[in-house]
Amino acid sequence: MFNGIVIEQHDGKQRASVQSLQDSQLPEGEVTVRVSHSTLNYKDALAITGASPVVRSFPMVPGIDLAGVVEHSNDARYQAGDAVLLNGWGVGERHWGGLAQKARLKADWLIPLPEAFSPAQAMAIGTAGYTAMLCVMALEEQGVTPGDGDILVTGAAGGVGSVAIALLARLGYRVVAMTGRAGDSDYLTQLGASEIIPRADFASAGRPLAKERWAGAVDVAGSHVLANVCASTRYGGVVTACGLAAGMDLPATVAPFILRGVRLIGIDSVMCPLARRQQAWRRLAKDLDLAALGSIGDEVGLQQSLELAPELLAGRVRGRIVVDVNR
């Protein structure tokens, strides 16, 4: 027997609770993992609350991230006792995920846990931090250097934003943090932000072109925020888009792209190829200051993560939520 969060649907209504489960209930997969830590991400909160139809089948164990130790493997790449982690691949949506003490998974979805991180540290990074690293890599590959000018990070106090600021600042970029919570200024400054600006200035319809400001940007918001970020990006600048916290729409014009040569780069972490994932985690081990994880991540248990899900959706949670599934 093991414990996990289970999302069930009855008469069209969704309910999530911590339940005792049996190994025989685990889905098919080559590798069984004894999970030690998971996370609570925005997508997990949507699944747990039912605020968006994230879950594709019921019952479902949510959790798009996990770290743990292999308990049993039918794949030669992994042996019992190996430390592994997982991000994305549809777990917590189509396949039982990490918010449980055990998971059974496809071997192709796993990567070895980097030696630089403990399981808890890897989950303080999680999908959010790995996505932030993919954004930073894209900026670098598009030729954006620290000498080119300011890099804007939207949703700065969230998981992606927090890690992006820490990474960019350590790499020598001047980071401007956008947030809707004035009380987070000290936190963002400690992570490395040089300037804080209010989200309200970007949250409604703006002009097709605004004053040129950003050499690059990491955007988690979408909608009017992303449109205004593109409109205020410098000639030849690069905007990486990885989220939809403000909406899935993009009420923009082509003006920034055809008059300033702005490049909008989409970042997907869910189905990202294995080699790219491994590259991102190697870079995280090299470029992320582990001391920053202490301020970025808070640790809770399974029951507490249920209670925090609506708070996360309401924008009242800062940084990362690490879930110790054995608490």
Domain assignment present for 232: yes
Q: Which pLDDT value is given to residue 316? A: 87
Domain assignment present for 50: yes
Domain assignment present for 283: no
Domain assignment present for 276: no
187: domain range? 127-266
Domain assignment present for 271: no
Residue among 42, 41, 3 at smallest CA distance from 22: 3
Domain assignment present for 119: no
Predicted TM-score (pTM) of the model is: 0.92
217 and 250 belong to one structural domain: yes
CATH code for the domain in which residue 26 is found: 3.90.180.10
Q: What is the pLDDT along the chain (327 residues), one digit of tens a residue?
A: 999 999 999 888 899 999 999 999 999 999 999 999 999 999 999 999 999 889 999 999 999 999 999 999 999 999 999 999 999 999 999 999 999 999 999 999 999 999 999 999 999 999 999 999 999 999 999 999 999 999 999 999 999 999 999 999 999 999 999 999 888 999 999 999 999 999 999 999 999 999 999 999 999 999 999 999 999 999 999 999 999 989 999 999 999 999 999 999 999 999 999 999 999 999 999 999 988 877 777 899 999 999 999 999 988 888 889 999 999
102 and 138 belong to one structural domain: no
Total number of domains constituting the chain: 2
Q: Which pLDDT value is given to residue 295? A: 78
Domain assignment present for 285: no
* SS3 of residue 92 by DSSP: coil
What single string gives the DSSP state of each residue in 185-201? HHHHHHHT-SEEEEGGG
Q: How far apart are CA 151 and CA 140, in angstroms?
A: 12
- CB atoms under 10 Å from CB of 188, counted, come to 25
Q: Which pLDDT value is given to residue 82? A: 98
- DSSP-assigned beta bridge partners for residue 151: 175, 216
86 and 186 belong to one structural domain: no
- Strands 31-40 and 320-324 turn out to be antiparallel
70 and 102 belong to one structural domain: yes
Among 266, 281, 307, residue at a domain's last position: 266
154 and 237 belong to one structural domain: yes
137 and 254 belong to one structural domain: yes
8 and 72 belong to one structural domain: yes
26 and 74 belong to one structural domain: yes
Task: Output DSSP code: residue 149.
Answer: -
98 and 222 belong to one structural domain: no
Q: How far apart are CA 269 and CA 86, in angstroms?
A: 11
104 and 131 belong to one structural domain: no
Distances from the Cα of 114 to the Cαs of 31, 283, 284, 320, in angstroms?
A: 18, 11, 9, 19
Q: Which pLDDT value is given to residue 276? A: 96
137 and 256 belong to one structural domain: yes
Q: Which pLDDT value is given to residue 290? A: 86
Task: Output DSSP code: residue 227.
Answer: H
CATH code for the domain in which residue 190 is found: 3.40.50.720
Q: Which pLDDT value is given to residue 200? A: 94
Domain assignment present for 151: yes
256 and 192 belong to one structural domain: yes
Among 266, 282, 307, residue at a domain's last position: 266
